Amino acid sequence: MIRSAAWRSHSCGDLRAENVGQQVTLCGWVDNRRNHGAIHFVDLRDRYGITQLVVDGDAANDAADQMSGLHQEDVVQAKGVVRMRIEGQRNPDRVTGDVEVLVTSVEVLSSSKTLPFEIADHIDVPEDTRLKYRYLDMRRSPLQRALQLRSKANNAIRNSLCAQEFVEVETPMLTRSTPEGARDYLVPSRMRPGSWFALPQSPQIFKQLCMVGGLDRYFQIARCMRDEDLRADRQPEFTQLDIEMSFVDEEDVYAAVESVMQDVYQAVRETELVTPFERMPYNEAIALYASDKPDLRNPLQIVDVADVAGTLDFVVFDNVLESKGWIRAINVPGGASLSRKQIENIERLAKESGVGGAAWCKIGADGPTGPLSRFLKSEAGGAFIEKVGAAEGDLLFTIADTPRRALVALDVVRRESGAVMNLLADADRIVWITEFPLFEKNDDGVFHPAHHPFTCPVSEDLPLLRDGQKEGIRSRAYDLVLNGVELGSGSIRIHDKDLQSEIFDAIGLPPEVAAERFEFLLKAFSYGAPPHAGFAIGLDRLYSIMFDAESIRDVIAFPKTATSACPLTAAPSAVDSEQLDELGIKQQIETEQEVKP
Within its chain, how far is the Cα of 165 from the centroid?
Answer: 27
* 3-class state of residue 419 by DSSP: helix
> Does pTM top 0.85 for this prediction?
yes
**Amino acid (1-letter code) at residue 209:** L
Alpha carbon distance 489, 480 (integer Å): 6
CA triple 395-397-398, angle to 5 deg: 150
123/117 Cα distance (integer angstroms): 8
pLDDT computed for residue 518 by the predictor: 81
How do the pLDDT tens digits run along the chain, 597 residues long? Answer: 667 789 999 999 999 999 999 999 999 999 999 988 778 899 999 999 999 999 987 666 688 888 888 999 999 999 999 999 999 899 999 999 999 999 999 999 999 999 999 999 999 999 999 999 999 999 999 999 999 999 999 999 999 999 999 999 999 999 988 765 678 999 999 999 889 999 999 999 999 999 999 999 999 999 999 998 777 778 999 999 999 999 999 999 999 999 999 999 999 999 999 999 999 999 999 999 999 999 999 999 999 999 999 999 999 999 999 999 999 999 999 999 999 999 999 999 999 999 988 999 999 998 999 999 999 988 999 999 999 999 999 999 999 999 989 999 999 999 999 999 999 988 899 999 999 999 887 767 777 778 888 899 999 999 998 888 888 899 999 999 999 999 999 999 999 888 888 888 887 788 888 888 788 888 888 899 999 999 999 999 999 999 999 999 999 999 999 888 999 999 999 999 889 988 888 887 765 444 454
| b/e code 96-105 from CB counts within 10 Å (16+ = b) | bbebbbbbbe
DSSP-based three-state secondary structure for 479: strand
CA distance 309 to 205: 49
- Which H or E element spans position 532? strand 532-538
* Residues 575, 571: Cα–Cα separation, whole Å: 11
Gap between the Cα atoms of 76 and 7, Å rounded: 10
Q: What is the DSSP string of 259-307?
A: HHHHHHHHHHH-----SSPEEEEHHHHHHHHSSSS--TTS---EEE-HH
Name the helix (H) or strand (E) containing 46: strand 39-46
pLDDT value at residue 58: 66
pLDDT tens per residue, range 399-445: 999 998 999 999 999 999 999 999 998 889 999 999 999 988 776 77
d(CA 272, CA 274): 6
Could you give the 3-state DSSP secondary structure of residue 81? strand
Strand order in the sheet with 302-304: 302-304, 326-332, 395-401, 359-364, 367-369
Peptide bond connecting 276 to the previous residue in cis, omega within 30 degrees of 0: yes
**Angle CA 406–398–433, to nearest 5:** 50
Q: How far apart (Å, rounded) are the C-alpha atoms in residues 515 and 184?
A: 20
The Cα-based distances of 228 to 407, 479, 527 in angstroms read: 23, 21, 36
- Residue 502 has a pLDDT of 85
Q: Quick one: CA dihedral 352, 358, 364, 368, positive or negative? A: positive
The pLDDT value given to residue 440? 84
The three-state (H, E, C) secondary structure of 195-263, written as one string: CEEECCCCCHHHHHHHHHCCCCEEEEEEEEECECCCCCCCCCEEEEEEEEEECCCHHHHHHHHHHHHHH
- What's the count of helices (H) and strands (E) in the chain, helices before strands? 18, 22
Alpha-carbon distance of 522 to 499, in angstroms, equals 12
**Residue 378: which residues within 8 A CB-CB, separation 6 or more?**
312
Q: In this structure, are strands 167-168 and 186-188 parallel, antiparallel, or unpaired?
A: unpaired
Q: Which domains does the chain have, with CATH numbers?
A: 17-110 (2.40.50.140), 123-278+479-495+530-597 (3.30.930.10), 279-478 (3.30.1360.30)
CA 96 to chain centre: 35
Residue of 331, 339, 333, 308 whose CA lies nearest to 321: 308
- In 421-570, which ranges are continuous DSSP H helix? 462-466, 497-506, 511-517, 519-525, 539-546
Q: Which of 185, 219, 218, 181 is nearest to 200 (CA)?
A: 185
